[in-house]
Amino acid sequence: MSEINFCENNFAQGVEEVKNKVENDFSDANIEVLPCLGYCGDCAVGPFAVVNDEFVDASSPDELYEKIEQQL
């Protein structure tokens, strides 16, 4: 089972929409929203997630979704 972690502070970058789409499209994945994932410098710059313990960043929410999809 895949594990995807999102930082709630990163929702300002449009990540909440990505999380919702991932939840709908990949119901078998374990998805968590945590208060902080420790990537504060990256969090301020753009959307990201941690997929199966691998940091995944992107320049837009749509690109982040596509990268997550490729990881799964």
3-state secondary structure the chain: CCEEEEEHHHHHHCHHHHHHHHHHHCCCCEEEEECCCCCHHHHCCCCEEEECCEEEECCCHHHHHHHHHHHC
The model's pTM is 0.93
- Residue 19's pLDDT is 97
What is the predicted pLDDT for the residue at 3? 97
The range of the structural domain enclosing residue 40 comes to 3-71
Question: Which tens digits make up the pLDDT trace of 24-65?
Answer: 999 999 999 999 999 999 999 999 999 999 999 999 999 999
Q: How confident is the model at residue 1 (pLDDT cuts 50, 70, 90)?
A: confident
- For residue range 5-20, what is the model confidence (pLDDT) as tens digits? 999 999 999 999 999 9
Tell me how many domains the chain contains: 1
